[in-house]
Amino acid sequence: MSWEAISALSTLGTFVVVTATAIAALVQLRHMRASNQITATIGLMDKWAAPEFRKIANFVHQGELERKLLDPAYRAELSHAPIDKLAHPEVAYLDFWESVGSLIKLGHISEEAYLDLNSYPIISSWRKLEPVIAIIRRKRGSQVYDMFEYLASRAMLWEAKYPDGTYPANTPHLPVVDKFPADAGAQARVS
pLDDT in tens, 49-106: 788 989 999 999 999 999 999 999 999 999 988 999 999 999 999 999 999 999 999 9
Q: 126: buried, middle or exposed (CB in 10 Å: 19+, 13-18, 0-12)?
A: buried
Higher-pLDDT residue of 4 and 91 is 91
Q: Determine contact, residues 128/61, Cβ cutoff 8 Å.
A: yes
Closest CA to 40 of 122, 108, 127: 108
Least confident piece of the model among 34-38, 72-76, 164-168: 34-38
Task: Compute the average pLDDT of residues 102-114.
Answer: 91
Instruction: Collapse the DSSP code of 63 into the 3-class scheme (helix H, G, I; strand E, B; otherwise coil) and give the result.
Output: coil
pLDDT of 123 > 70? The answer is yes
pLDDT of 191 > 60? The answer is no
Higher-pLDDT residue of 117 and 41 is 117
pLDDT of 39 > 90? The answer is no
Mean pLDDT of the chain, nearest integer: 87
Higher-pLDDT residue of 176 and 187 is 176
Tell me how far apart the alpha carbons of residues 77 and 73 are, in angstroms, rounded to a whole number.
6
Least confident piece of the model among 7-11, 26-30, 39-43, 101-105: 26-30
